[in-house]
Structure 1
Amino acid sequence: MSWFESTLNFLSPGWVGSLIGLAGLLAAVVAYLRSRKRTSLSFAYLGEHLLGSDSNALPEGISVQYHGADIPRLTRSVIVLWNSGENTILGSDVVSIDPLRFCIGTDGEMLSASILKETRSVNDFKIRHPSAHAPNEAIVEFNYFDSKDGVVVEILHTSASRHPRIKGTLRGLPEGMKSVGRMSRSPSLFKRTGLGRLFPFLIASMTTWLPITVGCAFMLTALFGSSETVNTVMTLNLEKSNTAVMMMGGLYLGMGLFSLYLLRRKHPKNLHVEALE
């Protein structure tokens, strides 16, 4: 048998065409992701009550002062703001009558707002002190944000709400800024025992990589395994066929990919700080 006939015999099974089609689809998705040009500004947040709670102020007999004035509670909110698109966002894109600003609940006031980290100093990100008529808002300014440029800001305030908001209008963003939600943190128990770094790895392994591995194993068995192998894998009362094994593999793979999506880091790696852990 010539090499040409051997090649034809290798390419004749149906799984080869399916594999080539899947590879072409993945290549098209990658090409689209690399060529797209979006204008997008995203933010994620993290909040906690340092003193007091969301339902009650400080217990009777306990008082905390800030610059000589009593405060009902002390809340800490951290905001990560970054350019999540490919197009550069200019500070001049902000509409002057609706400036970009950080906001907390109307039941409190901002005590301080500080920059924990910024990608580049040339972005010239600045935070104005809250005004007397809007003590719960702080206007921000910047020069420009290239793709993945951004800042991490810490806000100390007295609002019962731990979830800050960002308001303002930018040209080219008719739908406004995109909130990716609250960032997750490792439980304090694991931090105290020195397992702060190991805990996310264990969770990701059990809920993400294990199902992905099992799913890929099922799908490879359906594609390349013999009929005896397929029958051995199918121990349940299901149809003993490659299709059934492929469906099981797709189910496990989908579970793992969905978990991977939920556990992903929502902000750029270059904006990660210890305050987010």
Structure 2
Amino acid sequence: MGLGIGVVGIFLSIYFYLRGKQIKQTAWVIISNTLVEDYSSTLTGLSVIYKKREVQNLTISKLAFWNKGSVTIDGKDLKTVNPLKIGPTGETQILDLAVVKTNNESSNFSIKKMGNSRLICFDYLNPNDGAVFQIIHTGISSKDVEISGKIRGCTNIKHVRKVSNPSLISIIYNLAVVSLGIVVLISAISQRKFGEIILPITIIVLYSLLFILDIGNRVPKGLESLLDYSTLLYKKRRIT
């Protein structure tokens, strides 16, 4: 019984410690759909023009950026020698970029052109506040666009490789499995069946970690449209 309570106590302590810790951090994630890729090598005589400019490749990306920490980020924190910006990697060209969604209008997101990049500006960002940007560029994947720069006081700008929006059912399921593991663990200890405690401990640790990772990679409420591939224009009209 004491061991079971101890395990629960450890997880609760970690949870409340992380919730109470003052962290200044941002995160971003990107998805892309390539509409045209090197068309000239397969379709001679065809020209693809975007805003009076001929392009060989054309990709639409959606990038979500948000305050992943626990403290408010002020717009003044953006004033560094390496400002926050969305830009290309390699020789990719940014053709167009716009803010298409915010979950707090008072943040007042805006963008400013700086060469082939776009500066990100806002008045302030409360925890879980952010925006979704639509980027039209000449790259062929999400790897061709990135967020870079520094924000005063932020530990880092975390690139979330895979996002998830766990449903209430999946959250309840994970909690139920962890609870069942705790019950089995307590039962095994109370009956002095110490050889049977490895399995419930493994279940508790594994599902707790999965739950934490699932929540940690969640896109904030109001920005879920990033995950809707149908909003990427002309998804089924790809030319290769």
Structure 1 and Structure 2 fold alike (TM over 0.5) = yes
The CA distance in 2 between the partners of 1:139 and 1:270, in whole Å, is 22
Residue 72 of structure 1: CA displacement?
0.7
Residues 174 and 211 of structure 2 are in contact (CA less than 8 Å); yes or no, is this contact kept in structure 1?
A: no
1:60 aligns with 43
Larger strand fraction of residues:
2
**Contact 1:104/1:161 (8 A) holds in 2:** no
> Within 5 Å, which residues of 2 pair with 1:201-212?
209=173
Q: 2:152 is matched with which residue?
A: 171
Cα pair distance change 1:19/1:256, threshold 3 Å: closer
- 2:236 equivalent in structure 1: none
Match of 2:33 among 43, 48, 62: 48
SS of the residue 1:37 aligns to? coil
* Alignment deviations for residues 112-163 of structure 1 (CA, whole Å, 9 cap, x no partner): 112221122221110124x5xx32x111211111111111111010023423
Distance verdict in 2 for CA 1:57–1:101, change over 3 Å: farther
Query: Residue in 2 aligned with 1:19?
Result: 4
Contact 2:188 2:197 in 1 (8 A): no
The structure with more radius of gyration:
1
Q: 1:41: how far off?
A: 1.4
Tell me the SS of whatever aligns to 1:268.
Answer: coil
Could you tell me which residue of structure 1 aligns to residue 14 of structure 2?
29
1:110-189 matched pairs, under 5 angstroms: 110-129=94-113, 131=114, 134-135=115-116, 137-163=117-143, 164-173=145-154, 175-183=155-163
Displacement of 1:31 in angstroms is 3.2
2: CA distance, partners of 1:176 / 1:274: 22
- TM-score, normalising length from structure 1? 0.68
Task: Give the partner amino acid of 2:157.
Answer: M
Q: How far is the alpha carbon of 1:172 from its aligned partner?
A: 1.0
1:94 deviates by: 1.6
For 1:67 and 1:98, the matched residues in 2 are separated by: 30
Change (3 A) 1:145 1:160: same
Instruction: Tell me which of the two structures has the higher relative contact order, counting C-alpha pairs closer than 8 angstroms and 6 or more residues apart.
Output: 2
Unaligned ranges ≥5, structure 1: 1-14, 186-199, 231-240
Query: Does the C-alpha gap of structure 1 residues 22 and 252 become closer, same or farther in structure 2, counting only changes over 3 Å?
Result: closer
Aligned 8 A contact 1:116 1:153 in 2:
yes
Residues 67 and 129, structure 2, Cα contact 8 Å, conserved in 1: yes
1:258 and 1:24 mapped to 2: Cα distance? Answer: 15
Tell me the residue number matched to 1:266: 218
Greater shift after overlay, 218-227 or 107-116? 218-227
Q: Is the 8 A contact 1:180 1:266 kept in 2?
A: no
Residues 178-209 of structure 1 deviation map (CA, whole Å, 9 limit, x = unaligned): 22224379xxxxxxxxxxxxxx87xx69xx94
1:216 and 1:31 mapped to 2: Cα distance?
A: 18
CA distance in 1 between counterparts of 2:33 and 2:150 reads 28
Quick one: which amino acid aligns to residue 138 of structure 2? T
Structure 1 residues 259 and 21, CA, compared in 2 at 3 Å: closer, same or farther?
A: closer
Q: What per-residue deviation string (whole Å, max 9, x for no partner) do you get for residues 81-108 of structure 1?
A: 1111122111111234322110122322
| Distance apart, 1:263 and its partner CA | 4.7
Q: TM-score, normalised by structure 2?
A: 0.77
Measured at CA, do residues 145 and 219 of structure 1 come closer, stay the same or move farther in structure 2, by a change above 3 Å? closer
Question: Match of 2:186?
Answer: 223
User: Which residue type is aligned with residue 177 of structure 1?
Assistant: I
Kindly provide the CA deviation profile for residues 25-62 of structure 1, in whole angstroms up to 9, marking residues without a partner as x.
3443343233211111111221231221xxx4553323
Q: Hey, what does 1:82 align to over in structure 2? A: 66
Pair 1:122–1:217, CA change in 2 (3 A): closer
Contact 1:125 1:143 in 2 (8 A): yes
User: Partner of 1:10 in structure 2?
Assistant: none
The Cα of 1:22 is off from its aligned counterpart by 3.2
RMSD: 3.3
